[in-house]
Amino acid sequence: MMIYQPKISSVHKFQRESSLTNTMGGYRESFSSILSFGCAEVYQQGTLGTDIHISDVPLLARRKLCRMLDPPDALGKDWCLLAMNLGLTELVAKHSNGTPNGASELDSEQDSQQALLQPSPTAALLQEWSGRADSTVGVLMAKLRELGRRDVADFLLKASPVFRVNMEALANGYPPICNGGTSYNSISSVISR
């Protein structure tokens, strides 16, 4: 059984090549064999992970992104600089509260409890940015890497879907007949996290 890891190099291969080398078996497998068991009709109606819209990232993953980017970073590599890199500078002023990176000095337990009730600036940023058609996982990963937040970009790669099938497009006609396109090797190959 061959397990392909969805590392960034593999994602780039998805965009440039049509197959991966199965190093355990010594053969090449097409992406349609790996991702849709050889069914070209299903594969053609799918979207690769980097092209998935940011609004399709699971809620728990978005919450983790907020926990990673909300705290002020000493070098400014947090939601604030990300907002500027995404062209949403108006959100910086809105969520900064007059202190650098949105941080405030908490003098008491009451202040810290009040801070917990504040909306996440990263959540607001992702919500605003998701209104754009080009707001994809791949674009956000590239912006995070430019920012120097490889840790967040790597998490996003792991937490995002590897491949998503547009079920509405498949439902608008006859169901695909996919019994002839599966290679004998693809049954034992998977993409894993």
Query: How do the domains of the chain map onto residue ranges?
Result: 2-52+162-191, 59-159
Q: At what angle do helices 150-159 and 59-69 cross, to 10 degrees?
A: 170
Residue 190: closest CA among 36, 26, 80: 36
* Helix locations, the chain, DSSP H: 8-16, 31-36, 40-44, 59-69, 79-85, 89-96, 109-117, 121-129, 137-147, 150-159, 167-171
Residue that is written with structure tokens 């995404």 in the block: 86
Query: Does the pLDDT value for residue 188 go beyond 80?
Result: no
Give yes or no for a contact between 52 and 160, defined as CB atoms under 8 angstroms apart: yes
Beta bridge partners of 191: 4
The whole-number pLDDT of residue 57 equals 92
Determine the CATH number of domain 59-159: 1.10.533.10
Query: Is residue 101 exposed (0-12), middle (13-18) or buried (19+ Cβ within 10 Å)?
Result: buried
Q: Which amino acid is at 125?
A: L
pLDDT at 58: 92
pLDDT in tens, 89-131: 887 877 775 444 444 444 545 544 545 556 899 999 999 999 9
> 């996440």: which residue's tokens?
120
> Which string of b and e fits 43-63 if b means at least 16 CB within 10 Å?
bebbbbbbbbbbeebeeebbe
The model carries a pTM of: 0.70
136 has a pLDDT exceeding 70: yes
In this predicted model, what pLDDT tens digit does every residue of 3-52 receive, in sequence order?
Answer: 666 554 345 445 566 677 777 777 777 777 777 777 777 777 787 788 88
Ramachandran sector of residue 148 (left: φ over 0; alpha: ψ -120 to 50; beta: rest): left
Q: Any bridge partners for residue 124, and if so which? A: none
149 burial class (0-12, 13-18, 19+ CB within 10 angstroms)?
buried
